[in-house]
Amino acid sequence: MKIPFLLLCLACGAMAAPSAKKQPDAAKPLPPLEKATISIDGHPESVAADDQGNIYFTSIGAKLTPTEEDKDGYLGVIPYGSTEPKKITDVDTLNAPKGLLYKDGFLYCTDISMVYKIDAKTGAIEGYVDLSPSRMKFLNDLAFINGRLMVSSTDTDQIFYVDTESKSYGELVTKQPIHKPNGLAWDPERKVIYVCEYATDEKGKPSGRLLSVNPISREVTELSRERGQYDGLAYRDGALYYSDWSQDKKPEAIRRLDLKTGRSAPVATGPIEGTADFILYGPMIVAPGMTEKKIHIMPIGGKK
């Protein structure tokens, strides 16, 4: 069901509210990963990691059909120290899962018009939200933004707040339009949401932008004059990392934008075909090569 507008405004306000006085525990150092290229059964779209070094991934399935309810998609894991992927979810559970997050023993993933909360060990569905009343077919990336789960809907040009416990959702309505939103990331210092667009113009030329959204004022700001078909997005230490399908199979397929200087540079250190929703893992990038059915683990390159 949809959240009434007033409640959504309160939710958005809470996103930018000051955090509690108690400081969070220091993050544990991640176990180091070795460079590797791992073949996947099906087309991987997104990856996530836990603090034990296990790499989780979504697979759209044997066919690259991201909007079809064909029941051949699944969630998988590459256990730490292994290069042998294993399936987590049962056959006939998912259709075409895309975005993926790991948090406190659970995996959150999007699947066409659904958002699932899944036990990372058992594959059991522990919660879900059905967004099909909003008529989308391409729920995409998701991110915890100041403790709240946000989801991009690429085909309907929308961003949603989602609650898997109450099975409710509501739209974050921005003052300026966002076209084909894909990757999402949260900047806890500036308290803005970063968004990248997977968009082309009427001639088929890449036209996607890198944007920031203020969740209180709902203002949208362009961060760069670059244009692309952007997919994955990550924020770290004053910089945005983003993948670009218009630079497929090149180091430019993943780039880094310095938010202070506005300069960008490629950071992938090897070819990737169909770079989708990657993660930064210590000094490494873990990136799905969606069209080549592989997951790449490689060092982060480029100058900072």
In Å, what is the CA distance from 224 to each residue of 81, 204, 207, 210?
38, 20, 12, 6
> What pLDDT, on the 0 to 100 scale, is given for residue 17?
45
Task: Please check whether residue 75 lies inside any domain of the structure.
Answer: yes
Task: Please check whether residue 21 lies inside any domain of the structure.
Answer: no
Task: Please check whether residue 249 lies inside any domain of the structure.
Answer: yes
Helix (H) or strand (E) holding 6: helix 5-15
Residue 200 belongs to a domain with what CATH number? Answer: 2.120.10.30
Boundaries of domain holding 103? 5-16+35-299
Number of structural domains found in the chain: 1
Q: How far apart are CA 179 and CA 190, in angstroms?
A: 23
Residues 6+ apart with CB under 8 A from 33: 53, 55, 281, 282, 284, 286, 297
Q: How far apart are CA 268 and CA 213, in angstroms?
A: 27
Task: Please check whether residue 145 lies inside any domain of the structure.
Answer: yes
Task: Please check whether residue 136 lies inside any domain of the structure.
Answer: yes
Task: Please check whether residue 98 lies inside any domain of the structure.
Answer: yes
Task: Please check whether residue 27 lies inside any domain of the structure.
Answer: no
> What pLDDT, on the 0 to 100 scale, is given for residue 250?
85
Task: Please check whether residue 245 lies inside any domain of the structure.
Answer: yes
Mean pLDDT of all residues in 96-112: 97
SS3 content of the chain, % helix, strand, coil (to 5): 5, 45, 50
> What pLDDT, on the 0 to 100 scale, is given for residue 26?
62
pLDDT digits (tens, 9 = 90+) for 207-226: 999 999 999 999 999 999 99
